[in-house]
Structure 1
Amino acid sequence: MSAPASSVHAPAPMEGGVRPWWQAAPFALVFLLFFVVPLVLIGMVSLWDFNEYELIPAISLRNYLAIFEGCSHLTDNGDLCVTLSTYLSTFKFCLLVWAITLLLGFAVAYFLAFHVRSPGMQTLLFVLCTVPFWTSNVIRMISWVPLLGRNGLVNQTLMGLGLVQEPVDWLLFSDFSVVLAFVHLYTMFMIVPIFNSMMRIDRSLLEAADDCGASGWQTLWNVIVPLSRTGILIGSIFVITIVMGDFVTIGVMGGQQIASVGKIIQVQTSYLQFPLAAANAVILLAVVLMIIWALTRVVDIRKEL
């Protein structure tokens, strides 16, 4: 005989919100061990002193002062100090790559979201966009060398068509090759979030804009772009943060001749100048966080998601 319904009691929830905290505890532990602790260690090491033989765990601002040494005035040649020149170079690549990946990513996402009607075809084309990610970044970068070199396919084609009389030198180991490699590697980080935002747009809004007599460009600018700004912001954060800290791409495609903040940190680490590299890493983190903060002031991502 079954017990009366009144005698059956559901298990009482744990008081004080313990259950949600226990659920979040594993993720919080991972976040603490692999994000917070390394950042604290980097900040701590950045304040240490060092010499040719050892690290000296003594609080000192020597590393930060060394990074900005001479930055209060121009050099004798009228140039900026090394740190500011390096950051300007990094910002230049960041801005160029962001603008190009945004245009390409938006165009590809727009095509997939609004011109490909079949979900199966959308999935197929989307998977094709991810094919380059099946190989290493280094392999994809190196693949440009035989194409862009002095005796590469591009130069041979240009000379064969009579467009140039001698090989073009700026195609490889230059700013152009660095930007090209960045765009090749990171455009997908812009396509995915923009595509996801576009797929969430209510198609009836586009029909309403068309009924009101809006042209295709007006619909694009006044309806699609504003409703895709969350994806644009997320993609921008991905691309900017990756490019700001990248040193492999600039080293390989720049022929080890182009400076960047990430490259300086990598060189300082290779020379065992860990406190100086840590100080540069802290400054770079602060700069990137300021950029992200400025982007989130334009679009409040918490309200959009």
Structure 2
Amino acid sequence: MTLSRITPYLQASPLALILLAFLVLPIATIVMVSFWDYDSIQIFPAFVFTNYEETISSPVTWNTYLNTLKYTVIVWGLTLFIGFWVAYYLAFHIRSATMQMVLFLVCTVPFLTSNIIRMISWIPFLGRNGLLNQTFMAMGLIHQPLEFLLFSDFAVVLAMVHLYTLFMVTPIFNTLMRIDRALIEAARDAGANGWQILTNVIIPLAKPGIAIGSIFVVTLVMGDFITVRFMSGGQSASVGLMMSNQIALLQYPAAAANAVILLVIVLLLVAAILRIVNIRKEL
């Protein structure tokens, strides 16, 4: 084999080794452990389907997966709505490139702190005696504190939207900035109004960015557990939180089985998104 033939393989080998060491081997290990057996004190290397059978046959597990999907759909919808309009404003209403960059950096300021700090900061704001309830009561809008604001599904969704909206803004903004403004002018010259330009020109051309942002948000929400634990006050559950509890109880094979099932579900969701939108235009 000549050097010219093996050169591409040599160039790809570092990345291939990294993917093998940090992606393929960990996933293969999780799949292997998911078939092992265990009791209250130890794990037995074996090949059994008990972990998958218990997961699939448990109504509690089904409800947990459905609850996770519920969070995913709601957060995806809200982040898409908010993220698209923020990106649209930055791309089409801010003429100065410098100001665009400044405002975009302002959006990233919360990322200078950790997710946990940003999430916990909602607790004194939404609590029974928090700032929001106290403000509403002082204004006479309510006569007693609103209980649903904290330790509820509302709090979980609010925190997730706060944490993950930027993951939707960034790819959509990048896509909108690539749109040829001549297309918009041509549509306007052809008699299209603002809504028609948005629905027939801008949104179709923004689909790759929307798809990439959707993949980010879906994968992050499906695997999130710390937000559900803190913001629901233990009153709700997600697959990630369930796996965290299983690991705390040393039930590693059961947690591995749930991880494999969750990975398959996420891959199916990502495949569905890629079937609808060709993101290679963005890459």
Higher mean alpha-carbon deviation, 116-125 vs 22-31, is at 22-31
Q: Which amino acid letter does the alignment assign opposite residue 41 of structure 1? A: T
Give 1:205-284 correspondences, 5 Å limit: 205-284=183-262
What is the alpha-carbon distance in structure 1 between the residues aligned to residue 56 and residue 204 of structure 2? 40
Matched positions, count:
283
CA contact (8 A) 2:150 2:231 kept: yes
The residue identity in structure 1 corresponding to 2:28 is: V
Distance apart, 1:302 and its partner CA: 2.8
- The answer to whether structure 1 residue 121 and structure 2 residue 99 are counterparts is yes
User: What CA distance in whole angstroms lies between the structure 2 residues aligned with 1:234 and 1:61?
Assistant: 35
Distance, in Å, in 1 between the alignment partners of 2:76 and 2:276 is 16
| RMSD, aligned α-carbons | 1.2
CA distance in 1, matches of 2:35, 2:4: 41
Q: CA deviation at 1:19?
A: 1.7
1:17 CA drift (Å): 2.5
Give deviations 1:36-58, integer Å, cap 9, x for gaps: 00000000000000112211001
Alpha-carbon distance between aligned partners in 2 of 1:61 and 1:141, rounded to the nearest angstrom: 38
Pick aligned residue for 1:39 from 27, 32, 56: 27
Query: What is the CA–CA distance in structure 1 between the aligned matches of 2:198 and 2:140, rounded to whole Å?
Result: 41
Aligned to 2:157: 179
Q: Which has the higher helix share?
A: 2
Asked if the contact 2:175/2:282 (under 8 Å) is kept, the reply is: no
Counterpart among 3, 6, 16 of residue 28 in structure 1: 16
Identity across matched positions, percent: 57
What's the counterpart of residue 3 of structure 2?
Answer: 15
Q: Hey, what does 1:87 align to over in structure 2?
A: 65
Moved over 3 A (4+): none
Matched, 1:50 2:28: no
- 1:3 corresponds in structure 2 to none
- Equivalent residue for 1:104? 82
Conserved? CA contact 2:209–2:279, under 8 Å: no
Offset, 1:215: 0.5
Equivalent-residue separation in structure 2 for 1:200 and 1:218 (angstroms) = 19
Greater C-alpha Rg: 1
Output the amino acid matched with 1:50. Y
- Rounded to whole Å, the distance in 1 between the matches of 2:105 and 2:49 is 50
Aligned partner letter, 2:68: T
CA distance in structure 2 between the partners assigned to 1:113 and 1:195 by the alignment: 6
Q: Does 1:135 align with 2:123?
A: no
1:185 and 1:237 mapped to 2: Cα distance? 15
Query: 2: distance between equivalents of 1:240 and 1:17?
Result: 40
CA distance in structure 2 between the aligned counterparts of 1:237 and 1:66, rounded to whole angstroms = 29
Residues 7-46 of structure 1: per-residue CA shift (max 9 Å, x gap): xxxxxxx535322221221111111100000000000000
Higher relative contact order at CA 8 Å, sep ≥6: structure 1 or structure 2? 2
TM-score between both structures, scaled by the size of structure 2 = 0.98
Distance 2:222 2:54 in 1: 21
Gaps of 5+ in 2: none
Whichever residue aligns with residue 48 of structure 1, its letter is W
Q: Point out where structure 1 has 5 or more consecutive residues left out of the alignment.
A: 1-13, 71-80
If the length of structure 1 is used for normalisation, what is the TM-score? 0.91
The separation in 2 between residues aligned to 1:198 and 1:161, in whole angstroms, is: 41
Identify the residue that residue 54 of structure 2 maps to in structure 1.
66
- 1:216-248 CA distance string (max 9 Å, x none): 010000000000000000000000000001000
Match of 1:300 in 2: 278
